[in-house]
Structure 1
Amino acid sequence: MPDDPAPVTSPGTSRSTSATIAPNILRYLARVADEHGVDLQPLLTRVGLDPTVMGSAALRVSYRQGSDVIRQAVKLTGDEHLGLRVGAAQHLTAWGLIGLAMMAADALQDAIETGVRYQNLSGAMTVWSARWEDAGYVLRADLPDPALDPTVAVFLTEEAYSSVVTLTRLSIGAAFAPQTVEFAFPAPRDTRPFDELFRCPLRFDATGNRMVFPTRWARATMPGRDPITHASVRGVLDGEMASRRDQQDLLEVLEISLAQSLPAVPSFSEQARRHASSERTLRRRLAECGTTYEAIVDGVRREQVEQLLRRPELTLRDITRQAGFADVSALRRAIRRWHGVTPLELRTGLLEREAPTGRPHALPERGAEP
């Protein structure tokens, strides 16, 4: 076991509300949903992902867009193990240069650490880390938002570890099985799909999500090992990471600026002046991030509304004023567009998830829909 127990993580794994990710999961999700007889394209188009956009190798989608599509896809397919199936449908070639770097790594541990290092370029919607522990080589998958919708959280965790097992078997052999896999979510009604896929002891309701690799597998040589190719591709990926960090910094600065300005929303020209940039340059930089100023404003307002709805003492008129909407009707329309529910339904759902006893907080009449 290595002397240095420090975990391997990705440089900069925070998620801003407008953070952009490669849509690998959504592409595989659409494919698996189609096998269920469900066409996700109308849903994808509704969030701005038409067929032309989805076919672009340069496409980036927001974390929020991805979560919305996943939530609706689980509902439309009725498949409680949709995450397992989406993960099992994947192949390293869909990861582009990251997949090539992983296939050219020296050993499985090196391949995993390459994937962890460049996870922000891969379209991962979980936050990965890896390290040697007493139990063996451990790969952890944390959720970026502890208050994430439980349906989306389960899907992302299932997809994460299902894809790891599937890709590992494709890379080093079908006989691979983890030593153990632990999930933070409760055991589903039917655990057979988990048993069939992972072929190892499983634990649910664990303190965190983790997969333990037997030492012999972690140190197994990758069949496509090529040190020159591995180093060369990593050089290219490091350049992309530096560019992505610059983009992330820009998005976070704009989001903080907007959040601090609410209920007023600064104009685009005002934001350009604040950040010592021309409007043309700022618009171009946002386009490189795969977003627009309007989308960032929408994301910040959405996050603000969700936080305010968690305060039962606030009326919808209070929330309307604090989030900078023209009137309550505009707030209602925004919530319907974001979540497909009424403000009261969203508030009830948010408070139910956060209630310590699992029962919703009492909602004062003035906090209901006026």
Structure 2
Amino acid sequence: MPDAPAPATSAGTSAGTSAGTSRSTSATIAPNILRYLARVAGEYGVDLQPLLTRVGLDPMVMRSATLRVSYRQGSDVIRRAVEQTGDEHLGLRVGATQHLTAWGLLGFAMMAADTLQEAIETGVRYQNLSGAMTVWSAGWEDVGYVLRADLPDPALDPTAAVFLIEEAYSSVVTLTRLSIGDAFAPQAVDFAFPASRDRRPFEELFRCPPRFDAAGNRMVIPARWARAAMPGRDPITYASAIDVLEKQMASRGDQQELLEVLEISIAQSLPVVPSFLEQSRRHACSERTLRRRLAECDTTYEAIVDGVRRERVEQLLRRPELTLRDIARQVGFADVSALRRAVRRWHGATPLAVRTGLLERDAPRSRPHA
């Protein structure tokens, strides 16, 4: 996760990305949200598996405990799920179905924390390991103990952006009630997106009047709740869990750095794609070792190249003056036909249709309701 701007008293976030790379193509997110999303969508009679498979997440892959997905994969699935279910509050529903056990060892550590505040700050500190798709920060402010959620990318699709913020705060309230009691309610919840037509789902879930079109997303937790003791608190178990989480963070940091360095080198070399042999020499290792390191990240060099090319194609499609031939040449495709096949595989549509959609999305307009 990238470093989140937060007050000095807030819990720190984990390491950010290197300058110049796009987080949307890095496979760094545990797919907890997508698993719950598929479950909730199924209750609407919507089978998300064909869509998950199309972005590279087949059933066997989704069962992997070490699986990581990219923001590109995640936001694509979320946007289509909202469209197919027709539920404008799908994020609230997905967040309300979760449990701390879905967060693995991190959830266990949070249950063993001394107070709710310590549990929250543990979650913030190790958010990279939880499958979070927002950037969390927390700390004491004038109004009370504040938990903030920011989007990883300001250019994120608006539908996916609203879903992620709804899911984020819905899961926090749900998990807190499961941990310390159903009586928990935040003092206030602010959302940066516009109000929906029906506010009742927000009022029923949060049990306080929600505020929309706010300067940022935040939840204010009353001091008595922030200082409340966790029922499962155990300092020895907590310390043991933290020790393992620290080791996992160090390992994940090394893997993320490798992916980002590869992405940057590919992006800077386009339209020429560096050979795998060239990349192994840059990393002072054998091709076999580099392939093993990528396998530990649940990805391949070919998948990284594909992600970088997709990102570049979408950037170039936003420039109407460029022809498809221009774009194919700049991204390193052999011809326009190869570009068309790639775009069809990524989006299920033609390059011109994707261009129209991107330009319409980028055009100044009021944001959709949550």
Aligned AA (2:109) = A
Q: What does residue 9 of structure 2 align with?
A: 6
Q: Which of the numbers 162, 173, 192 marks the counterpart of 2:181?
A: 173
Change in 2 beyond 3 A, CA 1:350/1:16: closer
Mapped contact 1:102–1:112 kept (Cα < 8 A): yes
User: How far 1:52 moved relative to its partner?
Assistant: 2.0
Q: What does residue 75 of structure 1 align with?
A: 83
Q: Which of the numbers 335, 343, 346 marks the counterpart of 1:335?
A: 343
Alignment of 1:185-204 (within 5 A): 185-204=193-212
Give me the TM-score of the superposition, normalised by structure 1: 0.92
Alignment of 1:85-104 (within 5 A): 85-104=93-112
Instruction: Give the Cα–Cα distance (whole angstroms) in 2 for the partners of residues 301 and 356 of structure 1.
Output: 27
Secondary structure of the residue aligned to 1:76 is helix
Identify which range, 84-93 or 340-349, moves more after superposition.
340-349
Secondary structure of the residue aligned to 2:147 is strand
Instruction: Give the Cα–Cα distance (whole angstroms) in 1 for the partners of residues 335 and 141 of structure 2.
Output: 55
Identify which range, 202-211 or 45-54, moves more after superposition.
45-54
Aligned AA (1:226) = D
Instruction: Give the Cα–Cα distance (whole angstroms) in 2 for the partners of residues 158 and 131 of structure 1.
Output: 20
| Structure 2 residue 258 is matched with structure 1 residue 255 | no
Unmatched 5+ stretches in structure 1: 360-370
Q: What does residue 3 of structure 2 align with?
A: none
Change in 2 beyond 3 A, CA 1:356/1:41: closer
Aligned AA (2:88) = E
Secondary structure of the residue aligned to 1:61 is coil
Q: Which of the numbers 28, 32, 36 marks the counterpart of 1:24?
A: 32
Unmatched 5+ stretches in structure 2: 1-6, 18-22
User: How far 1:358 moved relative to its partner?
Assistant: 6.1
Mapped contact 1:13–1:127 kept (Cα < 8 A): no
Instruction: Give the Cα–Cα distance (whole angstroms) in 1 for the partners of residues 162 and 85 of structure 2.
Output: 15
User: How far 1:75 moved relative to its partner?
Assistant: 1.6
Secondary structure of the residue aligned to 2:146 is strand
Q: What does residue 268 of structure 1 align with?
A: 276
Secondary structure of the residue aligned to 1:282 is helix
Change in 2 beyond 3 A, CA 1:19/1:48: closer
Instruction: Give the Cα–Cα distance (whole angstroms) in 1 for the partners of residues 176 and 366 of structure 2.
Output: 38
Give me the TM-score of the superposition, normalised by structure 2: 0.92
Q: What does residue 141 of structure 1 align with?
A: 149
| Structure 2 residue 302 is matched with structure 1 residue 299 | no
Aligned AA (1:335) = V
Q: What does residue 36 of structure 1 align with?
A: 44
Alignment of 1:222-261 (within 5 A): 222-261=230-269
Instruction: Give the Cα–Cα distance (whole angstroms) in 1 for the partners of residues 90 and 57 of structure 2.
Output: 21
Secondary structure of the residue aligned to 2:356 is helix
Instruction: Give the Cα–Cα distance (whole angstroms) in 1 for the partners of residues 303 and 102 of structure 2.
Output: 27
Instruction: Give the Cα–Cα distance (whole angstroms) in 2 for the partners of residues 231 and 16 of structure 1.
Output: 33
Identify which range, 15-24 or 134-143, moves more after superposition.
15-24
Aligned AA (1:91) = H
Q: Could you tell me the percent identity over the aligned residues?
A: 82
| Structure 2 residue 191 is matched with structure 1 residue 183 | yes
Secondary structure of the residue aligned to 1:208 is coil
Instruction: Give the Cα–Cα distance (whole angstroms) in 1 for the partners of residues 366 and 360 of structure 2.
Output: 6
Instruction: Give the Cα–Cα distance (whole angstroms) in 2 for the partners of residues 109 and 234 of structure 1.
Output: 16
Instruction: Give the Cα–Cα distance (whole angstroms) in 2 for the partners of residues 306 and 48 of structure 1.
Output: 19
Instruction: Give the Cα–Cα distance (whole angstroms) in 2 for the partners of residues 78 and 62 of structure 1.
Output: 24
Which deviations, in whole Å up to 9, do the C-alpha atoms of 1:53-100 show, x marking residues without a partner?
222222222222222211221122111111111100000011110001
Change in 2 beyond 3 A, CA 1:310/1:5: same
When the two structures are aligned, how many residues end up with a matched partner?
Answer: 356
Q: What does residue 154 of structure 1 align with?
A: 162
Mapped contact 2:116–2:229 kept (Cα < 8 A): yes
